[in-house]
Amino acid sequence: MAKPGKAYIFFNCDADKNEASMNIFYNSAVYKDTKTSRKNLWKKVKEEYGAERIQIPTDKLSEVEFAITEGDPVSAGEFIQFGAIRAIDCY
């Protein structure tokens, strides 16, 4: 069996990031682990931030962008309130 790739999902959620508050059908998008998809994931996060549905400290925006576009998108979640990014295996 081939080694799985990664795909990422952005969730709006409660402040405690309870999985019960993460509805996959709310945003209904999965982002592949490619440059283009990561840019689209960052675009989605910026959109949610601009609409004030999530909160990110202003001084952490560049770290969140870097984690999503170049690093580990899941780690960006530590700076996002009312939002989370989760990774899933993709075959």
Mention every residue, 6+ apart, whose C-beta is less than 8 A from residue 48: 10, 12, 54, 83
Q: How many domains does the chain have?
A: 1
Distance of CA 85 to the CA centre of its chain: 3
The answer to the question of residue 1 being in a domain is no
Tens of pLDDT along 61-90?
Answer: 999 999 999 999 999 999 999 999 999 999
The answer to the question of residue 40 being in a domain is yes
The rounded radius of gyration (Å) of the Cα atoms in the chain is: 13
Tens of pLDDT along 10-56?
Answer: 999 999 999 999 999 999 999 999 999 999 999 999 999 999 999 99
Distance between CA 73 and CA 75 in Å, rounded?
Answer: 5
Find out whether 84 and 13 touch, Cβ atoms under 8 Å. Answer: yes
The answer to the question of residue 49 being in a domain is yes
The answer to the question of residue 48 being in a domain is yes
The answer to the question of residue 21 being in a domain is no
Structural domain for 73, as ranges? 8-16+26-90
